[in-house]
Amino acid sequence: MYRFIFAAVVLVILLGAKFVPAAQQDFSKVEIKTQKVAGNVSMLEGSGGNIGVSTGPDGTLIIDDQFAPLADKIKAALKSLNNAPLKFLVNTHHHGDHTGGNEIFGKDTLIVAHANVRKRMESKPKEAQPVITYDQSASIHFNGEEIQLMYFTNGHTDNDTIVYFTKSNVAHFGDTFSPGRFPFVDLSGGGDVEGLVQSLSEAVKRLPADVKVIPGHGPVLTLEDVKGYRDMIAETADIVRKQMAAGKTMDQIKAQGMPDKYKNLGTGFVKTDTWIQVIYNSLSKKKS
């Protein structure tokens, strides 16, 4: 079962959705589970976004860090994998369920992210902000392989990074890929529905067909799953686009809904009506 706990920074209020801020969550019962993915790479699951981990002779690198109250549990899980110092923390984007531990981990390691992550976190404490940023692409040579950081375009936000471990053949997509539900596209954070489709299409072209995929939330999947997720977004966006072109209002489009095959995707964090509204607003921004 996917865990969709989003901190206040996600700004879901703008979508009309209710959520429980991280400060009100009870993390005492959260268990951090470790899973070997391939090569040097493992995954930690807990509460919040999946954490990617590279362990080896150079030390430890992690991708995202969930929520601050889980930092000690995450440190214990990392120690069980490799009692080596944490050298790098890569943020896939700025949302609090992926960066909540930055202030703690950032005291002892280097935080790396897209330049827009730093811009969107400039009000956070110094320790929580990325100290190494990039614009289009960057590489970290660590534990015997090149770790590629790839930015495509505005998608889930305006600062998403997909991380590819070239030797281990593992890609961490962050919330660019969060299967099993309609996506959360943070329009206030620079997100764009058509941009998300484009980002996923470009990632599919660039990555090997047999790559193991760590999504933002949920189990390790494949590139075929990424393609299916992309196609779902493209198809549902096209449904709304055509109805907008026919002069229908947002409420009329909501009343028609989505095809039955997508019914289950609207039972999670992003309801069907909310997804239609996000598509409508995203496409409307292009017209203005």
Domain ranges of the chain: 8-233
Among 213, 229, 224, 223, residue whose Cα is nearest residue 180: 229
Say how far apart CA 245 and CA 40 lie, in whole Å: 49
Of 22-26, 71-75, 76-80, 102-106, minimum mean pLDDT range: 22-26
Position 71, amino acid: A
Question: For the residues 85-89, what does the mean pLDDT come to?
Answer: 97
Say how far apart CA 198 and CA 214 lie, in whole Å: 19
3-state secondary structure of 253: helix
The per-residue pLDDT for range 163-209, each reduced to its tens digit, is 999 999 999 999 999 999 999 999 999 999 999 999 999 999 999 99
Question: What integer pLDDT is reported at residue 286 of this predicted model?
Answer: 73
Q: What is the pTM of this model?
A: 0.91
Of 16-20, 132-136, 190-194, 251-255, minimum mean pLDDT range: 16-20
Topology (CATH level 3) of domain 8-233: Metallo-beta-lactamase; Chain A (3.60.15)
Q: Indicate the pairing of strand 86-90 with strand 59-63.
A: parallel
3-state secondary structure of 277: helix
Task: Compute and round to an integer the Cα radius of gyration of the chain.
Answer: 18
- Per the rule left: phi > 0, alpha: psi between -120 and 50, beta: everything else, 143 is left
Q: Indicate the pairing of strand 170-172 with strand 212-214.
A: parallel
pLDDT score of 232 more than 90: yes
Say how far apart CA 3 and CA 1 lie, in whole Å: 7
Helix residue spans in the chain (DSSP H): 71-81, 96-99, 102-105, 115-120, 193-206, 223-245, 250-256, 272-287
Among 180, 181, 175, 155, residue whose Cα is nearest residue 163: 175
Say how far apart CA 121 and CA 110 lie, in whole Å: 15
pLDDT score of 6 more than 70: no
The per-residue pLDDT for range 58-84, each reduced to its tens digit, is 999 999 999 999 999 999 999 999 989
Question: What integer pLDDT is reported at residue 18 of this predicted model?
Answer: 33
Question: For the residues 111-136, what does the mean pLDDT come to?
Answer: 98
pLDDT score of 223 more than 80: yes
Question: What integer pLDDT is reported at residue 250 of this predicted model?
Answer: 97
What's the DSSP call for residue 1?
Answer: -
Average pLDDT, the chain: 92
Question: For the residues 51-58, what does the mean pLDDT come to?
Answer: 97
